[in-house]
Structure 1
């Protein structure tokens, strides 16, 4: 399990599974005022403490691993409240498409606040001409794909 708030902002497509969406939230939008979780027990405790909703470490584990994909509404409400996302994020692809883009930008801003993303890089990007932005876009997309392939190769070799 990667460290929450590690700064590696990964894209979660709107059609991603519930487990992928929850894992993305843990990795990218973990609240700054909650200590980073080291395991599912700490994740559940942080959510319960912040929301008042009793959520077990087993529930967190099932949700993160895809063993439960239809949780109770109150569990989804607690997750939405804790991560500060609309409950529609957990819904169908048609409901969550725009939400995912907004959350990705929010995760990027949190990375800048935490020092895992350099604010001067974001400012420099915004000052580029449209042609230069297109080039940077292409480089980032290619780098992300290469990194994804590398990680997939590492996980298949280790498992």
Structure 2
């Protein structure tokens, strides 16, 4: 499994992370058009597909507070994700977990681990750490 992405810090990275991780029930990404339309309806203000694309790609980086609140509402995250660096980091970690749990293999391991004792969970955690170190060494050698 690849290492998690660094936490998103720029507005564009934060918005892109939402698109990457928060998905439709069929697991497809939301389109810019779908999100922009929902944001227009939530704010009653102008919010075009192009404007959203510009925010997501960093071509624009000064949206109104209402626009960011509408994005937060659509993606079901706290508006603090955009405004508070500490909260943003916590929410980014939760998004990483959500993204990982979309993977059937990860989800299967997590569900099976629910019944383990604390000692059993520690053992599994140690095994995961050892495998990750081994894979990092292998990946470094193969470059």
Query: TM-score band (shorter)?
Result: 0.5 to 0.7
Tell me if 1:130 matches 2:130: no
- CA RMSD between the two structures: 3.5
Alignment of 1:116-155 (within 5 A): 116-118=103-105, 119-125=107-113, 127=116, 128-137=120-129, 139-140=131-132
Distance in 2 between the 1:141 and 1:76 partners?
39
Q: Higher Cα Rg: structure 1 or 2? A: 2
Alignment of 1:1-159 (within 5 A): 10-13=4-7, 16-32=9-25, 36-37=29-30, 39-48=31-40, 51=42, 53=44, 54-109=46-101, 111=102, 116-118=103-105, 119-125=107-113, 127=116, 128-137=120-129, 139-140=131-132
Give the length in aligned residue pairs. Answer: 131
CA shift in 2, pair 1:23/1:143, >3 Å: farther
* TM-score normalized with structure 1 length: 0.62
**Deviation (angstroms), 1:137:** 3.7
Distance in 1 between the 2:62 and 2:133 partners?
32
Distance in 2 between the 1:56 and 1:36 partners?
18
8 Å Cα contact 1:9/1:108 also seen in 2 = no
8 Å Cα contact 2:21/2:95 also seen in 1 = no
**Deviation (angstroms), 1:34:** 9.6
**Deviation (angstroms), 1:134:** 2.6
Give unpaired runs (5+ residues) of structure 1: 1-7, 148-159
8 Å Cα contact 1:40/1:61 also seen in 2 = yes
CA shift in 2, pair 1:70/1:10, >3 Å: farther
